Amino acid sequence: MKHPDAIVVGGGLVGAAIAYGLQRTGLSTLMLDEGDVALRASRGNFGLIWVQSKGINFPPYASWTWDSASLWPTLDAELRDLTGDVLDLHQPGGIEFCLSDDEIKKCRGDIRRLHAHAPQVAAEMLDHKALSKMLPGLGPDVVGGRYCRGDGHVNPLSLLRALHKGLLTKGGEIKSGSPVRSIRHQGGVFTVATNTEQHQSARLVLAAGLGTRDLAEMIGLDIPVRPIRGQNLVTEKLQPFLPFPCATIRQTGEGSVQIGASEEDVGFNDATTPRILNKMAARAVTIFPHLKQARIVRVWGALRIMSPDGYPIYAQSQRFPGAFAAVCHSGVTLAAVHTLKLAKAIAEGALPDAVSAMNPERFANAQT
C-alpha cells in the first residue's frame, strides 16, 4: 500500500501533464496507467498546437487555449533542461487551407466570431497569391486559407516521453500495466485498487481519456465522453517544403509528411478504411500536387476523446473533496496549461477560475 500526496489515473498526455505538474509543485505523485493494451489518443494524434479554430463559440475555451499556446515555450524549455529531450516545438503560425468559396466563407465567419471575444488570436484570411508566396508548390485549386500566428506543432510522442521522464526525474512514480478497477473513499482518503495492488491518497485526479467515464462514476461524477475516430497517413521522408503546420498536413522534423484530420463517429473502433484514407490523400495532393509522388509508409486510426460540445471537461467532486477529473480533445495544445496552471491549482485544492465554465454540469443545464 502506497501513500503518495496525489494519485493520477491515466498516463496519456493529459494525465502525464497533470502528474508532472503536481510533482513539480512538491506533491509526491503516483501515476497509474493501463498500459499497452489501452486505447491511447496520445500515441496516435496529429501534434498540432492549434488556436485558430478553438472556442469560436465559447470564450473561456479560446482564452484557455491561447494561454496554453503562449506558455508552450516555457514548458518546452523546462522539459528540455530537465530531461534533455528535444520536443521539436515550432510555432511559426499555422494555416487551414480552403478549396472552395464555401470553405473561405466559413473560415472568414469563424474569424469574425472568434475576434469578437478573442482579438489576441490574430487570425487572417490570405488569398491564393499570398499563400503561394509563403508556400512554393501550392496547388492551383487552393482558393485561399486562414493563417494564425499563434499556431504551431510539436512531436507529440517526444512530449509524452518527456512528461513521463520529467515526473520520474522529479521523484514521482509511474506504474504501467495498472488498470484501476475500483475507487473507494473513506475518512478523506481514496483507495484506488488495480488488479494486484491498492494505493491510497487524499488527492485523486482521473485523467484516463475514454476510460474516465467509467472511473468517474465510481466517485459520483458524470464525465460524458465518447470516441471519435481520426485516421492518419504518413509519407516517406521528403526534403523540407512545408515551413508551417497546417490543419490537415504537417511536415515533421524528420521530413515525413503527416496527413490527418478525419472525424468519424464509429464507436470504439480504431481501424483504418481505404475510403477515408483515399479522400484525405486526394485533398493533400490537391493542396500540394508534388505529394502525388510520395510513398505512404504508415497509416493508423486513433480515437479522440470527445465531450458532447467538443470542449474540455474539468470536474471537482463536491461529494468527495480532493477528487478531480480532466478530459479534453486537444491534449497536445493544452499540455502547457495542464502542467503549469491546472496542476498547480489542483495542488492548492481547487480548479482554476479559468476552467469553471468547462464543468460537466453544463450538459445537465443544457438538457433542462
Ligand X SMILES: Cc1cc2nc3c(=O)[nH]c(=O)nc-3n(C[C@H](O)[C@H](O)[C@H](O)COP(=O)(O)OP(=O)(O)OC[C@H]3O[C@@H](n4cnc5c(N)ncnc54)[C@H](O)[C@@H]3O)c2cc1C
Please report, as ranges, the residues that interact with ligand X according to CB under 6 A.
Answer: 9-15, 32-35, 38-42, 44-48, 50, 179-180, 207-209, 211, 215, 230, 232, 260, 302-305, 327-333
Cell of 324: 478531480
Separation of alpha carbons 43 and 282, rounded Å: 25
128/175 with CB nearer ligand X? 175
Separation of alpha carbons 199 and 329, rounded Å: 29
What's the alpha-carbon Rg for the chain, to the nearest Å?
21
Angle between helices 101-117 and 59-83 (to 10 degrees): 90
Nearest-approach distance from CB 327 to ligand X, in angstroms: 6
Q: What share of the chain is helix, strand, coil (3-state, %, to 5)?
A: 35, 25, 40
Sign of CA dihedral 340, 228, 192, 36: negative
Nearest-approach distance from CB 104 to ligand X, in angstroms: 23
180/259 with CB nearer ligand X? 180
Nearest-approach distance from CB 30 to ligand X, in angstroms: 12
Nearest-approach distance from CB 39 to ligand X, in angstroms: 6
141/263 with CB nearer ligand X? 263
Nearest-approach distance from CB 41 to ligand X, in angstroms: 4
Q: Which residues contact 52 (CB under 8 A, 6 or more apart)?
A: 94, 96, 114, 121, 123, 146, 148, 150, 151
32/98 with CB nearer ligand X? 32
187/330 with CB nearer ligand X? 330
